Amino acid sequence: MKIRFVTLFVMLLLSACATGAQTPSAPPAPRHNLMPVPASVRFNEGRMAVTKNFTVATRGFVDERLRSYINRVARRLERRTVMEFPRNPATDASTASLVVACQAAGKTVPALDEDEAYTLEVSERQAVLSARTVVGAMRGLETFLQLVDSDREGYFIPAVSIEDKPRFPWRGLLIDVGRHFHPVEVIKRNLDAMASVKLNVLHWHLTEDQGFRIESKKFPKLHGMGSDGDYYTQNQIREIVLYAQERGIRVVPEFDMPGHATSWLVGYPELGSAPGPYLIERQAGIFNPSLDPTREQVYKFLDTFLGEMAKLFPDAYMHIGGDENTGRQWRLNPTIQAFMQKKGIKDKHALQTYFNQRLLKILKKHGKTMMGWDEILQPDLPKDIVIQSWRGNKALTEAARQGYNGILSNGYYIDLAQSASMHYLVDPLPADTTLTATEAAHILGGEATMWSEWVTPETIDSRIWSRTAAIAERFWSPRTVRDVEDMYRRLAVVDVQLEELGLTHRKNQEMMLRRLAQGANVAALQTLISIVEPVEEYKRFKYHTQHTMLNPLTGLADAARPDSFAAGDFARLVDTLLADAPRFDANAYRIQNTLTLWRDSAIELQPMMDSIPGLHEARPLAKDLSEMATVGLEALSYLSKNIAPAPEWRAAKLAMLEETAKPKAALEFPVILNVRQLVVAACEAPRLKTMTQSAWREHVKQLATPPVPPTVK
């Protein structure tokens, strides 16, 4: 459920009602739309106008990578301001609108220790961006673009002084292309989006039970038989790596082993721990096929394959997965069991450690540092490996205490359709950490993870964005930046700006609704989809039990976006209504309009959902929408008239809302909580109207306490 904002309103009311002499305070800093929030930002008096004469000059080091980035930012600025700027760089820095002063190129290939710091000084006359490296200048250019504002006088950049650097050096996004393949254009537009919010690692999950997604010239049956024809050629890999480098983003490939290995074995069953044949897996889940760690042939194969891959990926790190190996094939293979007995290997964990130690030598031979999930952490592995934790802060902290570098992904699984606020408040290095400063330095950052069981190229953007921008802020900004309400305010702005990069997270929804509606007017369907969300975590498997990786994923649950902005807006409306007595009538009018729209839309939806097979499973949602809106309108009427309903009304309506809260068609209404608040408040309307302001505020806290949601079995 969404985080509520009543406490903030109560605090504001308490402040406004305070009496007595007050010492005048400095005017509050203007609200900005920067995301991530810089390490230090100070707004000054004045503003720099952005006109059609906007020019950019460079000072110090400049190369083609920096020139190209400046050009892309200038073109985005043109589109935002509807103005054409001079194409040639300014020859006189003293008269340029923006001066980019860069000291050096930085790393030839983006690296973990890349210097990404920059400063930005904007006065009424000029903006000066200074950075020690090209990547630092890139980060500053994105901040500059986010500062653009407008009023009736025109476009402008506020006068500001910014000193900025990232909190963590590893700020990543994992994209799983194994379960569902995502073409080059999908990866590119997401790289552009990553750069815009200062993420710097693309973790490319390239192999899975459901697909082997990269061309191997050494072993062509890997992609030839294990991909259904959906894979990246080596030229496309080079293209993506270069595209990422030009945006200051590292590309870390993942080749999952020894488990999650079915697609390896379709073409090369002799590498497996059980006899073949093997087929590409169509289901989601954890499966038994695994590489045989007792065969020398496996290590020779991996030496050749990883050597080939090392030439395609220049990054220092290579991810081996290492997670969720069931060990079943090892346990049932007499040869493997005899090997374990001979070597004194006591269990599957020890056998996987043996495999990892052999693999580590191969990776080092090819100049790579091993990276893997929690399961690879075993006592005998050297300290230079990197642990990616899906288990959480406790596991990550323990690894750091042992001297291992690590990154956090637990809490950032964006495929689980959870709220931005939930992700936002998870911290790789929380304030209550028990690590020493030396140990804490092993926490390198984190990664959002886009596992792709339930996404296609048509929907992946809507699952990554814009929630990942909030995660990016957690990785970049100071730990103290934690204002959830302000994060959502800025996230709504970023959500729109991301579209200019070619992302489809907003526009594809309407297209999908038109397709579902088969030419009918989709206005009512848009109203519904705006206030529902897909069920969270792994609950969708309950509603779509026959799901395979060949499913088109074009239903209503696929069109809905996690963490509905419209639902959040309604939550704030209700909270304001209950916390702000003087403005009750104005807020009640807005809520009434919203509830009326829901009720009327439900009436239109019912015949559409009856007549279109693709919408049949969602028919209960139309009924729920109607009942929920009607209950809300009744409660609002009681509140407005200062009349309490009969006691049995409350019981009946709350029971109805409990039924409405149960998911249907893998969708649920997050706004149920807020309608419930209206019902509870309506039953106490006369008392609320006669309360003192302080008593009103205290009672608001109690009304805002969310109920325990119904358990989903």
| pLDDT tens, residue by residue, 596-643 | 999 999 999 999 999 999 999 999 999 999 999 999 999 999 999 888
pLDDT of residue 87 exceeding 80: yes
The Cα–Cα gap between 5 and 570 comes to 11
Q: What is the pLDDT of residue 14?
A: 33
C-beta atoms surrounding 526 within 10 Å: 17
Q: What is the CA radius of gyration of the chain?
A: 28
Q: What is the pLDDT of residue 693?
A: 52
Q: What is the pLDDT of residue 234?
A: 98
Tokens of 529: 């989809």
| Angle between helical axes of 619-641 and 672-682 (0-180°, round to 10) | 30
Return the HEC string of 394-441: HHHHHHHHCCCEEEECCCCEHHHCCCHHHHHCCCCCCCCCCCCHHHHC
The conformational region for residue 47 under phi > 0 = left, psi -120 to 50 = alpha, else beta, is beta
Q: Are 210 and 280 in contact (CB under 8 A)?
A: yes
Tell me, what amino acid is at 34?
A: L
DSSP code string of 215-270: --SSSTHHHHHHSTT--B-HHHHHHHHHHHHTTT-EEEEEEEESSS-HHHHHH-GG
DSSP 498: G
Return the HEC string of 320-369: EECCCCCCHHHHHCHHHHHHHHHHCCCCHHHHHHHHHHHHHHHHHHCCCE
Closest CA to 374 of 359, 389, 385: 389
* pTM listed for this prediction: 0.93
Percent of the chain predicted with pLDDT > 70: 92
Identify whether 452 is preceded by a cis peptide bond (ω within 30 of 0).
no
Sign of torsion over alpha carbons 289, 294, 298, 303: positive
Instruction: List Cβ neighbours of 55 (8 Å cut-off, separation of 6 or more).
Output: 85, 86, 89, 90, 95, 96, 97, 98
pLDDT of residue 703 exceeding 90: no
Window from 387-401, 483-497, 681-695 with minimum mean pLDDT:
681-695
Q: What is the pLDDT of residue 705?
A: 52
Q: Are 437 and 379 in contact (CB under 8 A)?
A: no
Residues forming CATH 3.30.379.10 domain(s) in the chain:
40-164
pLDDT of residue 5 exceeding 60: no
pLDDT of residue 27 exceeding 60: no
Tell me, what amino acid is at 441?
A: A
Please, what is the average pLDDT of the chain? 92
The Cα–Cα gap between 462 and 448 comes to 14
The Cα–Cα gap between 425 and 313 comes to 33
C-beta atoms surrounding 287 within 10 Å: 19
Residues forming CATH 3.20.20.80 domain(s) in the chain:
200-374
Q: What is the pLDDT of residue 117?
A: 98
**Which residues are tagged catalytic?**
324
Q: pLDDT of 631-645, one tens digit each?
A: 999 999 999 988 899
Q: Are 352 and 375 in contact (CB under 8 A)?
A: yes
Q: Are 139 and 36 in contact (CB under 8 A)?
A: no
| Burial (0-12, 13-18, 19+ Cβ within 10 Å), 319 | buried
The Cα–Cα gap between 389 and 375 comes to 9
Q: What is the pLDDT of residue 190?
A: 98
pLDDT of residue 710 exceeding 80: no
Tell me, what amino acid is at 453?
A: E
* CATH code of the domain occupying 200-374: 3.20.20.80
Mean pLDDT for the stretch of residues 290-307? 98
Q: pLDDT of 415-472, one tens digit each?
A: 999 999 999 999 999 999 999 999 999 999 999 999 999 999 999 999 999 999 999 9
Percent of the chain predicted with pLDDT > 90: 87
The Cα–Cα gap between 168 and 112 comes to 10
Superfamily of structural domain 40-164: Chitobiase/beta-hexosaminidase domain 2-like (3.30.379.10)
Q: What is the pLDDT of residue 691?
A: 61
Q: What is the pLDDT of residue 687?
A: 64
Q: Are 645 and 518 in contact (CB under 8 A)?
A: no
Q: pLDDT of 181-229, one tens digit each?
A: 999 999 999 999 999 999 999 999 999 999 999 999 999 999 999 999 9
pLDDT of residue 17 exceeding 80: no
Tell me, what amino acid is at 119?
A: T
